[in-house]
Amino acid sequence: MKFTIYGSGCAKCKQLAANAEEAANAKGLEYEVEKVTDTNAIIDAGIMRTPALAIDGEIVIEGKVATAAEVQQLLA
């Protein structure tokens, strides 16, 4: 499983990454995290609001910091 975090690297982006990792750990999943901070790459991905989270290439959260529980629901 691959989590991709899109954003500038701000505190909200870091919190979203931490919440995604916590959700995956709670489910016992193996994962990797990629952080995309390049503005052009974020735009090319079709993201208009950051932070955003993609799971295995599919954007599932955009413009907010999802809690670990919310990310767990997306992994179900």
pTM of the model: 0.92
Q: Which of 13, 20, 24, 36 is catalytic?
A: 13
β-pair partners for 15: none
13 classed as catalytic: yes
Q: Which of 10, 11, 29, 69 is catalytic?
A: 10
Residues 6 or more apart in contact with residue 45 via CB below 8 angstroms: 6, 36, 52, 54, 59
| Single-letter amino acid code for the residue at 6 | Y
pLDDT in tens, 17-60: 999 999 999 999 999 999 999 999 999 999 999 999 999 999 99
- Dihedral angle at the C-alpha atoms of 67, 68, 69, 74, nearest 10 degrees? 100
Tokens of 68: 């670990």
Mean pLDDT of 1-27: 96
Q: Which domains does the chain have, with CATH numbers?
A: 2-75 (3.40.30.10)
